Structures are given as structure tokens and as C-alpha cells.
Structure 1
Amino acid sequence: MTLEASAAPADWDVISPDEVRLRTDLARECFAAGERAGKWRNPILAWPTLTVEVAVGDDDYVALRLQLDDYPTQAPGGRLWDLRTGAPLPTNRWPRGESAERVFRTDWSPSNSDAPYLPCDRTGLATHTNWAADYPSRAWNPSRTIAFYLEEIYGELTEARLPYPGQES
């Protein structure tokens, strides 16, 4: 695991329990396995946010910025991110394809912090209070890890494409 700008503090007592749990989950084999498989890469932790690139289609990546305060009690809150500008990725550069467009919906996501339309995301759960019960296999709960969230995003982007191949978000 390579976590840029996120070396663990010398004294673990000075960081919050939610950050301790995230750092523990980032060190788990399930997170490392996703990195080795090329599903995600380049995690950068600047508490309480994690920026990570997720594979899109065969050979592209798109960045996600995740809000992780109160992790894992509260689900991660994600949005597509432009690494060059340090700002949300404009909708015209969002991944395309049937599954990707159901998750990153231009009719819903922009008015909801650009959140993915998924039951593992904090915004999706907050706006669809029935999702945890209706989709338990995909919904966030405190026993989940950050790898679960990234697997859900990755699964929706495997058949997607970026509108500008190699755009390097």
C-alpha cells in the first residue's frame, strides 16, 4: 500500500477513532488486493478525505474524493474529482456507459454533491432512507470497509469509458 502524504502519526492517541479505523482498513489485505489487481491506485489521505483513482474500463482511471468523517459509522461520501484542478470533475468528463451513467447521474448527482447514486454512499443513503433495507448486500453498514465501497464503485465502472480517453482526472 502506498499512501502519499499520510504517514501514520507517531502517537496514535492523538488521532480520532474514525481515522484509526480508516487507517486500519487501508492496511487490510482486501484494500491491497484491489490495488494489486489495478482496481484502484494512488490513495492520498488528508484526513478526513481520501482521494483515490478507480479503474474505468480497460486502461483508464478516474479520481474519487471521499469524505470520511465519522467512518465507519457513517458511509463514505464520494464525488468524482479532478486531480489537476483540485475540484469536482465537470459532468462532461464523467465516465460514460450504461452502468456508469446510472451511478453518476447528471439528473441527480450534481444537486447532491456529485455523489454516486448507490446505497453504499452517505448521500444516497441519506436521500433514500429505504435503501439499507431494500439493498442490504450493497448498502453501507459499520462492518464494511473502504475496500467494499471502492469495489462497489469499481464494479459500476468496469464497462465504462471516459469521454476523453486518457484524460487523467
Structure 2
Amino acid sequence: MNCSMRPDEAVFRRQLAGGTFRTGVASGRWCTVSVSWPYAIFSVRAVDGIEYGLRFDCQDYPRTPPTARPWDIEHDAPLAPERWPTGANRVSLAFNPGWKNGSCLYLPCDRQSIEGHANWLNEHPSLIWDPEVGIVHYLRIVHDLLNSGDYGGRRVP
């Protein structure tokens, strides 16, 4: 560990080096694009082969859940709403550019979205942030959505 590295970043980087995260990389589910603490950019592969970028703010990781927004990896900027994934139900709810102006995904594991949703603790316990599993938990949820029967592709190809 780098002595100048913050404790939250050290935990994060240990999880990236762990087997569970690396299994997701090896199987093509996701990959790390960049880490510039406290931000990390990942791509997550959808069933149709499109790779969606997510930019995570991991401040106070893993004690505080991260928050992620769809990210245009090529232009290093927020992803334009017309390029977000869509679906009939769950995908379009999670990837809703109208939710908090597109600053986060509408998921129980997201720091911004869990606020004001105490009911999610009982309604969606498997989707609540788990600091022991860490970033893999969030990436799995997104991967599962993008590879579900509900996924309808990109809004505009």
C-alpha cells in the first residue's frame, strides 16, 4: 500500500485486486477504465455488446455507498441522455436521466438514490449497498440489468 494513499482508496484498490472483481473482468462483464481518487470509471457490457461507462464517486468508501452516473468514456463527460440504455421497466427506472438530473442511477445501492427511500431496506434488501462486497455489488446489479430480458438497447444507436 502506498503510504500517502487514503484509507478509503486503499480498501477500494484491495477490492479491485480481489478475485471476485477480477472474475467479472475475466468474464467480460466489466472493466476498469480509470481511477483518479475518489473517482473511478468502469465499463459494463450489455447483452448486445454495448459497453456503458459509469463514473463512480467513491468518497468515504466502503462505509458510504458510492454514487454512479452514466459516463461517456470517449469524451470523459456525462453520457448524453439519448445514449442511455432503455428497457420496458426496470432498466428504464434505473437509467432515468430525469432522476436527479442524471447525476446517479435510481438504484438502492446508490448513495444519492437511497436517500429518502427507507422503504427500500425492506423492499429490496439484496440491492442495498453491502460494504463487504463493495464495488462488485454495484457492478453486478448494473450488469444484471443490462443483461436482463428487460434491456432494450441504447435509446439512440
Pairwise same-fold verdict (TM > 0.5): yes
Question: Residues 78-134 of structure 1, C-alpha deviation per residue, up to 9 Å, x if partnerless?
Answer: 000012222111111101222321211234242xx5311111111111232332343
What is the match of residue 142 of structure 2? 153
User: Cα offset for 1:49?
Assistant: 0.6
Q: Say whether residues 1:140 and 2:132 are aligned partners.
A: no
Q: CA deviation at 1:37?
A: 1.2
Tell me what 1:7 maps to.
none
Question: Offset of 1:148 from its aligned partner?
Answer: 1.0
> What does residue 15 of structure 2 align with?
25
CA distance in 1, matches of 2:31, 2:48: 14
Question: What is the DSSP-based 3-state SS (H/G/I as helix, E as strand, rest coil) of the residue aligned with 2:86?
Answer: coil
Q: Establish whether residue 108 from structure 1 lines up as the match of residue 103 from structure 2.
A: no
**CA offset at residue 59 of structure 1?**
1.1
Q: Distance in 2 between matches of 1:21 and 1:42?
A: 16
Asked if the contact 2:45–2:52 (Cα under 8 Å) also holds between the matched residues in 1, the reply is yes
The number of aligned residues is 153
> d(CA) in 2 for partners of 1:129 and 1:14?
37
Runs of 5+ unmatched residues, structure 2: none
Distance 2:122 2:61 in 1: 20
Deviations 1:127-168 (A, max 9, x none): 323323432211013223111110011111114312344xxx
Q: Higher RCO, 1 or 2 (CA under 8 Å, sep at least 6)?
A: 1
Deviates more, 1:123-132 or 1:45-54: 123-132
